[in-house]
Chains A and B, each alone.
Chain A
Amino acid sequence: DQQVKQNSPSLSVQEGRISILNCDYTNSMFDYFLWYKKYPAEGPTFLISISSIKDKNEDGRFTVFLNKSAKHLSLHIVPSQPGDSAVYFCAATNNAGNNRKLIWGLGTSLAVNP
């Protein structure tokens, strides 16, 4: 049973508009969440993270929102650029003190059209 779910396998957005990628989780003990981006034929690269004590974290064009009561987080990219076209993975852990406890979603493929 998937503890971290990314229910949209793909998303298409126009350049300059907002991209919203969603992630739901089932384990209420998760206390740290991360987003990674992956280009074809490359490994995932870290994008942004958020601790459960916060409800928002921002880094440039990327903002992650956490709604603990809904067990939901989302990644907002504003404005979207063609170079943002990639697969985005959500990951979560209930032990931020240990990297080996990460649980990964299946990813959402984002296409940003010029």
Chain B
Amino acid sequence: NAGVTQTPKFQVLKTGQSMTLQCAQDMNHNSMYWYRQDPGMGLRLIYYSASEGTTDKGEVPNGYNVSRLNKREFSLRLESAAPSQTSVYFCASSGTRHLYNSPLHFGNGTRLTVT
């Protein structure tokens, strides 16, 4: 049982390049999330999907797009990467969008560097 799987683990981009971060979960969870973690900033929510077919902006959505491809997969796209998007990106899922008895399960992260 893999839980939440993120690919790739590491990526280096040049400014202006695009890429898609992939995330898949095998826990039959309804809700999925993309976070970024930066030094001195803590975890910040980029986008989330409460259920299949829905997505919504989080705290820091600018420069990103997402696709909830199906119940299992939730991808994050950087259309034109900027150095400010250098970060560690975490995908997470939860059974429901309610915190009670439904904590977040995280993937192992993608370390992205934009030069």
Contacts and interface: CB of A to CB of B under 8 A. Distances in A.
A100 B58 CA distance: 7
Contact of A49 (B44, B45, B56, B99): B99
A93 B99 contact: yes
Interface in A67-99: 89, 91, 93, 96-99
Interface residues on A, range: 20 to 34
Contacts, number: 71
Interface in B83-112: 90, 92, 94, 97-100, 102-109
Contact of B42 (A49, A100, A105): A105
Contact of B107 (A43, A93, A96, A107): A43
Interface in B40-55: 40-45, 48, 50
A91 to B, nearest CB: 8
Contacts of A42: 108-109
Contacts of A41: 108-109
B48 A89 contact: no
A43 B4 contact: yes
B61 to A, nearest CB: 12
Given A49-B99, A96-B100, A97-B98, A102 B45 contact: yes
Contact of A43 (B41, B45, B108): B108
Interface in A40-75: 41-46, 49
A104 B43 contact: yes
Interface of A: 2, 4, 32, 34, 36, 41-46, 49, 89, 91, 93, 96-100, 102, 104-107
